[in-house]
Structure 1
Amino acid sequence: MEENNGKGLDERKRVYSRKSRYSTQKGWRRFFNRKWILLTLITTLLLVVGGCSAIMMSAKSLPLDRLNEIDVASTVYDVNGKPVTKLGSINKEYVKMEDVKSRKLIEETFISVEDRRFYEHNGVDFRSILRAVVTNVMEGRKAQGGGTITMQLARNVILENKSKTYLRKLKEVGTAWNLERKYSKEEILEAYLNFIYFGNDVQGISMASKIYFDKDLTKQKLEPHEAALLAALPKAPSLYNPYRNEEKAKERRNLVLRLMERQGVLSTEEKEKYQAMDLGVNRKYLKKHLKKERYTAYKHYIMEEAEERFQLSETELATGGYKIYTHLVPHAQRAIEKAFDNDDLFQNQKQLDGGATIVNPRTGGLVAIAGGREYKGQGYMLRSKEEKRQPGSAIKPITVYAPAVQEKGYNEYSPVPDPPGFHIQDWRPKNFQRRYYDRLPLKDVLAKSLNVATAWLLKNEVGLGTASDYAQRMGLELVEKDRHSHAALALGGLTKGVNTVQMAQAYSAFANNGKLTDVHGIRKISTANEDREWVTEETIQKDQQVLTPKTAYYLTRMLHYNVRQGTGKNAQLPDGRDVAGKTGTTQGSKEAWFVGYTQEYVMSAMVFNQNDGKVELSGGKYPARIFRSVMSEALKGTPVSRFTNPGVPEPKPPFKLRPVDLSASFDKEKEVVQLKWNDYADRLKYRVERSEDGQNWKPIGETQAGGFTDPNIVLPRPESAPLDEIFGRRTSVYHYRVIAVDQVENQEAEPSNTVTLEIHPSENPPPENPEEGDSPGEDEAPNGDQQGEPPGDQEGEQQGDQQGEQQGDQQGDQQNDQQGDQGESQGTDPSGDAVGNDSIGERSSWLWKNGSGFNFLYRWIID
């Protein structure tokens, strides 16, 4: 028993001993001994030192006096990949801080805002970085940055690679350390103030002071509120641009003044005093000091687009040395700028301003854009994008006509009522010229821009829901109020309005077989060494089939008709190429539009009255003429184009019964009258009527063809006798008309035009064998007839044609008498009757019919 207990105890000891050997406490102590800790610390220190050395060695170092050699501006490339302009630091001039009158104020102000511990760190402020990280985590967004003034100089000026990577951040740190090792704080601060970006294509505080306050820093002092505004800009030059966002700029400036108070630069009283002041900027300073550059409006647009699509800020683009590939067509941009500088196109009306946009409908590429008449750069409103105005009747093809065609089967020939007095609840639309039409084709509703007919079509055929859907799918912005308003959707009274970019985009669907692509100016952006790129196609909606090809083609036909014969006539181009488009004029002549297109481009142009101006506007006047001027230049040298059918059925007009256009001719050889007219429908038959006096009509036949032959005519025959000069010879006169009969509706059209034919004797030779005659001489002695009359008559007719009708008749009569006598003596029959003399039985039938009865009677008596 004891032996067993001893064995169990030994077993438990062995187990406990094994546990103790591998216990946590003992294992921790063995693993973390002093040697290991020392080795770890040494390794870490070596890694840190080595890493810092590597960072500093890999970091870029450039003498500060050579910073001016660095081109930090981004390059803009046109649609063909050719560099055409720079974006960013175009206007700059270097100033030594020792020459600046307000040096202390400026330096203290910028340090208060950008880097409070500037004089305490060695280029990298780890305390500020930690504070920024904590703040950003707490607020869930990037509320603060930990970059120092030295790091900003490294990031925005020295480093070429602007990609946001950890490696680049390390290089930024290393470059900042290198700068701090080589240069004094004063030198670094001077470089920073001369190369930081201040917006409006301006680099450096010297030029910034001029464009915002018209002050030369070497001659004039800045006031504290002015220095505060300059220090407020580098954080977000576009957002705080005082010329475009006055409220935000003032808010940011006042924040800087509070920071200046905290740092002891200003007293509380001074802070409050300067916060109450205006910004003190004036656009005339921009005009005075900025260089005149080409393509400024286009650069403005793509700078905003880059921030919206790729979150690349204005400062990054202006100082990053990026390559920006665009859809810019330089000569088109120059044409649009030239037009808005031409006062004649605005009839020298200073209160008028406007915007215009040209788009390639197949790519959605922004070809050209206007800034406005007074536009000088980013300090100004980009009218074509930022000025939103009601589109007026230019909205009709989008919200009413297109859905009527696509959803209800309308075409250009479809009749639309235009009733006077039409109303929808309390809304009573009126036509512009106060003229109303009972019913007329849709293409004329569009060409005359009839408000009542359009409102009728919206209410009774299209509907508000469908109209709203079409507006949104084509890129127009609606508020809830607009969705329930017939006036807004029929006549363009949109609450927020639209800009020229949106209207050009919407009409591009008509020009591109119903496909729509978001308008964009940038094709792609790449860094200077092209190690990273941003592609626009990845961020836009492309080739959306918003309309059927048939609808787009039918609208193009109607809009083309409007330019040829409607309100858009002034938009016709001199080279005769096809143009389609629609005018728009808002109530009270506040705004006027023309949106049109060719096979190549879509252009929208808008003109408006500033400050309640009273210039009378219409879409067919100012905007249409701007369209003509710009597009003529933009398309110069390109082949004249025509609109083509994309392979859809042509629109068919409804059947309309109408009179035919009749023509007639006499066929001498066949001795018949040939009638011809335009046969315009299979459902018709034609009744042919004839009259001999032009009043009493008799039907002579029916046909379904476009022609008829009348053989039942009496022809006048030439005759020669002594009384011809007294009684003359009769002319046959016939009147014809044709009446179209609709066999489906059993209706008759109005008679055609009347055609009158006069058949003269000279046109018809006598028959070789007389039609009638009871005299034996006809059978037994034909030579008498042949020799007795025809030679004289024929010869007389021939000579009469050459010498005159009267002389021919006389010679014919003389020869007739002579040869008639010869016939009488030479030809006899068994009964002894004369053969040469024509008897009454032979001649009476056609002689009396042709008005020669008296001549015959005279000859019979004489004989």
Structure 2
Amino acid sequence: MADLRPAAPQPQPRMRASAARSARWPQNWLDWLRIRRNWMTVAGIVFGLILLLVLGTFAYAYATLPDPSRLDLAAGDVKIVDRNGNPIEVRNAQGVRVIPKELSDISPNLQKATIAVEDKHFYQHHGVDWGRVIKAGVIDVITRKPQQGASTITEQLAKIAILRSPQKTILRKLREALLATALESKYSKTDILKLYLNSIYYGHNATGVEAAAEVYFGKHAKDLTLGEASLLAGLPNGPSYYDPALHKDRALARQAVVLDAMVNTGVITSAQAEQAKNETLTFVFKENRSSLAPHFVDYVFEQLETVYGPSIINTGGLTVKTTLDLNLQKAAEQAVTVGQQRLGRLGADNGDFLAMDPKTGEILAMVGSADYLNNDIKGQFNVVTALRQPGSSFKPYVYEQAFKSHKLTMGSPLDDTSRHFANGQFHDFDFRDMGIISAHKALLLSRNIPALETMQTAGVDNVVNFAHDMGITTPLKSEVTTAIGSSEVRLLDHAVGYGVFATGGTRHDPVSLLEVKDKDGNTLDNPNKPQGKQVISAQEAYLITDILKDYSSQWNLGWNKPFAGKSGTTNNYRDAWMMAYSPNLVIGAWVGHTGPGNQDMNGVYGTMVGSSVLRDFINNGLTQAHFTVETFKRPDGLIDGPPCASSVSASPSASASASASAGSRSSEKELYLPGTECKPAPTPSPSPTPLPTPLTSVIPSIVPSGILPTPTPSSAPTPTPTAGPGQTP
């Protein structure tokens, strides 16, 4: 019988591993080639598109290139107008006078200094310094922002005299390069340098080296010393930023950069550079100027230089619409004048004023000094942007940090008893201890000891960081005395910070520019306004507002419109501040002494600034400007409740002699964030009265109601000055 079972499969001969790999290898190689070919195709297409884009850009730039032979060195005016189109100042881009000079009539020192700092390869390149361009590009990529300038002198001349556009685009840079190359083929290096030195802007309405030499030093350009020439050569990089009238330290630092560049290029020796750095420079600042807001215009030009570069001033033919309201500006100037009239006899020879819209950050009024043309008080210096100690006007940041972190509440008790802080003994301005008082009352009455205690409770670094979040841009000392204003701030930043309270928690940084148009009325740019940043909640912000809205009545300031406010005074009456805000306006003013002699005033307090400068602006200026002040509205989500019992969180150093009215407010109501309401607690035993020690403070001339029997100035003796901080109301 036949065997029907299937035959067993025959075993296949075994292949070695190397043979198996050899069999797969051709297929893998083909796959790899296919993938590579696909990628190369894609890369080729991408490269072709990029090349086409680049060539197209070059072709467009070349086709729309202005005629390089049409050098327009006359340029035009730069018109600064307010938010309603009213003229503030017309600044001629070519200065009060333009005095063209041959190179033989220009100091060789200035020629060499300009080339060394602006374009050290001027005599080697043909319009574009490609090595410098590549270096600048690499650095910009590394830092992820424009850090390096790469424009040659020829490119700058093309930008000033031909392109005349403030916009920063790749297309404009390409046109600059093409025009620079064309200029180099048409003009000699000598002609280009002469044209450049006669057309560059040096600040103070001076264009060209001859005008600059006369405005700054009262001499001809050919007579400039090495020190004078090196200082002038550094100004075109930032005429406002390096203005020696306003920022002499910056101007001298820039001069040092110029001199070092001259040494590096071998045109002077190190000894000559050091001699020039030590040279005494005598400035004359022979400038004719008519402006309705000179400090603000200076500030605007500095912003223009920052946003568009210094060439915006050289170009001219522009109308810059700003945020300023000339009606409010006039009111602010009048208020500063009133302050000088009333406080001048006490040594106040200078003052400033700032008004901002807290909802947008737009600057509505800016008075940088009491008299712009008064050199005795350094009137051209803008105190609004300067650093000064704010005194007690800093305290709202301290209390807000404590409130929002739930370390304290408005009703929390604080110990107003003279004691030791930060290696110094402190007491309050009236030389009295009020004992246990609420945080609400401590801020309203501007008590120093409770503010220092609150600073410790909230955490010094927490308060410093919070103040920066609110808008303070300058460094603050990580010290407890920062609570009472020992760290310097700018009024401009301070107004931003108070604006956060005004808006219910949103910060808006300062804005001064609204629109830039060319001479034909075409809009060149609408600067982007910074977006608001929510810093605190509306409920947290209103806790401070609920306290400070009573400041005017508590301190008898006489305001007839609903503003919240806070004053500040520093040691020895050197600085007196008053800040105020409503939902749609933040205002601030400072008074001090910046002229010859002692910088300390004679008993000028921040509250006196409030009852003179701010009172005139609020009661008269706003009415005349037809400005409607919005009223505060309490946000939902806050809880009414009684003050905390006097023992809760009370310091063991509470004075036994503190009055009962000062330590108990059971009939009053406080506002609380949900979950922070106070609970009663037993009263602690009083501690011994502290031993008498040297105290740090000053005495107010305006005493708030509720502290002393009468609201009139007290006749307490003047304390002996001490080294420690002693900021007061």
One of 495, 498, 503 as aligned partner of 1:512: 503
- Counterpart CA distance in 1 for 2:139 and 2:405 is 54
**Could you tell me which residue of structure 2 aligns to residue 67 of structure 1?**
73
**Could you tell me which residue of structure 1 aligns to residue 290 of structure 2?**
292
Cα offset, 1:327, TM superposition: 2.1
Are residue 209 (structure 1) and residue 213 (structure 2) matched?
Answer: yes
**Could you tell me which residue of structure 2 aligns to residue 598 of structure 1?**
582
**Could you tell me which residue of structure 2 aligns to residue 393 of structure 1?**
392
Cα offset, 1:239, TM superposition: 4.8
**Could you tell me which residue of structure 1 aligns to residue 616 of structure 2?**
629
Cα offset, 1:109, TM superposition: 5.1
- Counterpart CA distance in 1 for 2:635 and 2:297 is 40
**Could you tell me which residue of structure 1 aligns to residue 469 of structure 2?**
473
Q: Alpha carbons of 1:350 and 1:210: their partners in 2 closer, same or farther (altered >3 Å)?
A: farther
**Could you tell me which residue of structure 2 aligns to residue 221 of structure 1?**
223
Q: Alpha carbons of 1:279 and 1:88: their partners in 2 closer, same or farther (altered >3 Å)?
A: farther
Q: Alpha carbons of 1:176 and 1:600: their partners in 2 closer, same or farther (altered >3 Å)?
A: same
Cα offset, 1:450, TM superposition: 1.9
Q: Alpha carbons of 1:439 and 1:180: their partners in 2 closer, same or farther (altered >3 Å)?
A: closer
What whole-Å deviation, never above 9, does each CA across 1:341-367 have from its counterpart, x for those lacking one?
664254156674443321112222222
- Counterpart CA distance in 2 for 1:535 and 1:143 is 20
Q: Alpha carbons of 1:614 and 1:390: their partners in 2 closer, same or farther (altered >3 Å)?
A: closer
- Alignment partner of 1:155: what SS? helix
Higher RCO structure (Cα 8 Å, ≥6 apart): 2
Q: Alpha carbons of 1:188 and 1:643: their partners in 2 closer, same or farther (altered >3 Å)?
A: same
Q: Alpha carbons of 1:258 and 1:644: their partners in 2 closer, same or farther (altered >3 Å)?
A: closer
What whole-Å deviation, never above 9, does each CA across 1:662-709 have from its counterpart, x for those lacking one?
xxxxxxxxxxxxxxxxxx99xxxxxxxxxxxxxxxxxxxxxxxxxxxx
Are residue 370 (structure 1) and residue 367 (structure 2) matched?
Answer: yes
Are residue 645 (structure 1) and residue 633 (structure 2) matched?
Answer: yes
One of 337, 356, 373 as aligned partner of 1:359: 356
- Residue 78 of structure 2 contacts residue 313 of structure 2 at CA under 8 Å; is this kept in 1? yes
**Could you tell me which residue of structure 2 aligns to residue 846 of structure 1?**
none
1:420-459 equivalent positions in 2, closer than 5 A = 420-423=417-420, 428-440=425-437, 442-458=439-455
**Could you tell me which residue of structure 1 aligns to residue 382 of structure 2?**
382
**Could you tell me which residue of structure 2 aligns to residue 334 of structure 1?**
330
**Could you tell me which residue of structure 2 aligns to residue 27 of structure 1?**
none
Cα offset, 1:582, TM superposition: 1.0
Cα offset, 1:159, TM superposition: 1.1
- Counterpart CA distance in 1 for 2:481 and 2:117 is 52
**Could you tell me which residue of structure 2 aligns to residue 156 of structure 1?**
160
What whole-Å deviation, never above 9, does each CA across 1:397-417 have from its counterpart, x for those lacking one?
221167448836844xx4745
The AA in structure 2 aligned to 1:544 is Q
**Could you tell me which residue of structure 2 aligns to residue 486 of structure 1?**
480
- Counterpart CA distance in 2 for 1:171 and 1:429 is 66
Gaps of 5+ in 1: 1-46, 657-679, 682-863
Q: Alpha carbons of 1:517 and 1:273: their partners in 2 closer, same or farther (altered >3 Å)?
A: closer
- Residue 597 of structure 1 contacts residue 603 of structure 1 at CA under 8 Å; is this kept in 2? yes
Cα offset, 1:560, TM superposition: 2.5
- Residue 242 of structure 1 contacts residue 281 of structure 1 at CA under 8 Å; is this kept in 2? no
Cα offset, 1:199, TM superposition: 2.6
- Counterpart CA distance in 1 for 2:502 and 2:552 is 15
- Alignment partner of 1:407: what SS? coil
**Could you tell me which residue of structure 2 aligns to residue 302 of structure 1?**
300
- Residue 402 of structure 1 contacts residue 555 of structure 1 at CA under 8 Å; is this kept in 2? no
- Counterpart CA distance in 1 for 2:172 and 2:454 is 62
The AA in structure 1 aligned to 2:300 is I
Select the structure of larger CA radius of gyration: 1
- Counterpart CA distance in 2 for 1:371 and 1:402 is 31
Report how many residues are paired.
581
- Counterpart CA distance in 2 for 1:366 and 1:101 is 44
Cα offset, 1:499, TM superposition: 1.2
Q: Alpha carbons of 1:318 and 1:78: their partners in 2 closer, same or farther (altered >3 Å)?
A: farther
What whole-Å deviation, never above 9, does each CA across 1:727-770 have from its counterpart, x for those lacking one?
xxxxxxxxxxxxxxxxxxxxxxxxxxxxxxxxxxxxxxxxxxxx
Are residue 78 (structure 1) and residue 78 (structure 2) matched?
Answer: no
1:83-232 equivalent positions in 2, closer than 5 A = 84-86=88-90, 89=93, 91-98=95-102, 101-102=105-106, 106-107=110-111, 110-111=114-115, 114=118, 124-125=126-127, 128-130=129-131, 132-133=133-134, 137=138, 147-176=151-180, 179=183, 188-217=192-221, 221-232=223-234
One of 534, 550, 564 as aligned partner of 1:544: 534
- TM-score if structure 1 supplies the norm length? 0.58
The AA in structure 2 aligned to 1:619 is G
What whole-Å deviation, never above 9, does each CA across 1:551-608 have from its counterpart, x for those lacking one?
4344333222220122xx33x34xx222221111123322221111234311122223
- Alignment partner of 1:154: what SS? helix
- Alignment partner of 1:536: what SS? coil
Cα offset, 1:168, TM superposition: 2.6
What whole-Å deviation, never above 9, does each CA across 1:807-862 have from its counterpart, x for those lacking one?
xxxxxxxxxxxxxxxxxxxxxxxxxxxxxxxxxxxxxxxxxxxxxxxxxxxxxxxx
**Could you tell me which residue of structure 2 aligns to residue 8 of structure 1?**
none
- Counterpart CA distance in 2 for 1:372 and 1:247 is 20
- TM-score if structure 2 supplies the norm length? 0.67
- Counterpart CA distance in 1 for 2:264 and 2:420 is 66
- Residue 228 of structure 1 contacts residue 253 of structure 1 at CA under 8 Å; is this kept in 2? yes
Q: Alpha carbons of 1:590 and 1:274: their partners in 2 closer, same or farther (altered >3 Å)?
A: same
**Could you tell me which residue of structure 1 aligns to residue 527 of structure 2?**
535
- Residue 509 of structure 1 contacts residue 547 of structure 1 at CA under 8 Å; is this kept in 2? no
One of 48, 56, 62 as aligned partner of 1:55: 62
- Counterpart CA distance in 1 for 2:215 and 2:345 is 28
What whole-Å deviation, never above 9, does each CA across 1:123-173 have from its counterpart, x for those lacking one?
x335x3345535865896888766443432221222133433443334334
Are residue 522 (structure 1) and residue 475 (structure 2) matched?
Answer: no
| Percentage identity across paired residues of the two chains | 25
What whole-Å deviation, never above 9, does each CA across 1:87-124 have from its counterpart, x for those lacking one?
67273422232598546665555455545676787xx3
Q: Alpha carbons of 1:407 and 1:189: their partners in 2 closer, same or farther (altered >3 Å)?
A: same
- Counterpart CA distance in 2 for 1:254 and 1:77 is 36
- Alignment partner of 2:387: what SS? coil
What whole-Å deviation, never above 9, does each CA across 1:609-637 have from its counterpart, x for those lacking one?
44752313311113552222344324524
- Counterpart CA distance in 2 for 1:487 and 1:648 is 34
Q: Alpha carbons of 1:554 and 1:135: their partners in 2 closer, same or farther (altered >3 Å)?
A: closer
Gaps of 5+ in 2: 1-53, 645-665, 668-729
The AA in structure 2 aligned to 1:58 is L
- Counterpart CA distance in 2 for 1:511 and 1:636 is 23
One of 598, 607, 622 as aligned partner of 1:620: 607
**Could you tell me which residue of structure 2 aligns to residue 314 of structure 1?**
310
- CA RMSD for the aligned pairs? 4.4
Cα offset, 1:434, TM superposition: 1.0
Q: Alpha carbons of 1:239 and 1:471: their partners in 2 closer, same or farther (altered >3 Å)?
A: closer
The AA in structure 1 aligned to 2:567 is T
**Could you tell me which residue of structure 1 aligns to residue 10 of structure 2?**
none
- Counterpart CA distance in 2 for 1:374 and 1:321 is 30
